[in-house]
Amino acid sequence: MGAIQNTGHLGAVLRAARKQLGLTQPQLALAAGVGVRFIVDLEAGKPTLRLENVLRVIDALGGSLHLKGLGELPGSDDATGGKGSRHGA
């Protein structure tokens, strides 16, 4: 997959991942600990969503967020700061 350049592309990628896993929007919302409206807005590419909840959805889908070209956190081997990939879920 190429780089995600905007919120619409992110929403489309997450929708495709949800469907590939056979999950409904309500099922994903429950798994991520967010509301169904949040999933609808995320998949529609709404640009003003709370990042913490976006990370929870990515985690619930079995994914992780990696930033490329920004360097590493001091004292860490990865971008999680040594705390794992779970985001409050």
What's the pLDDT score for residue 73?
A: 72
Any idea how long the chain is?
Answer: 89
What's the pLDDT score for residue 67?
A: 86
Instruction: Please tell me the chain's helix, strand, coil percentages from 3-state DSSP, rounded to the nearest 5.
Output: 45, 0, 55
What's the pLDDT score for residue 69?
A: 85
pTM of the model: 0.79
CA distance 21 to 9: 19
Please tell me whether residue 9 adopts helix, strand or coil conformation: helix
Say which CATH architecture domain 7-60 belongs to: Orthogonal Bundle (1.10)
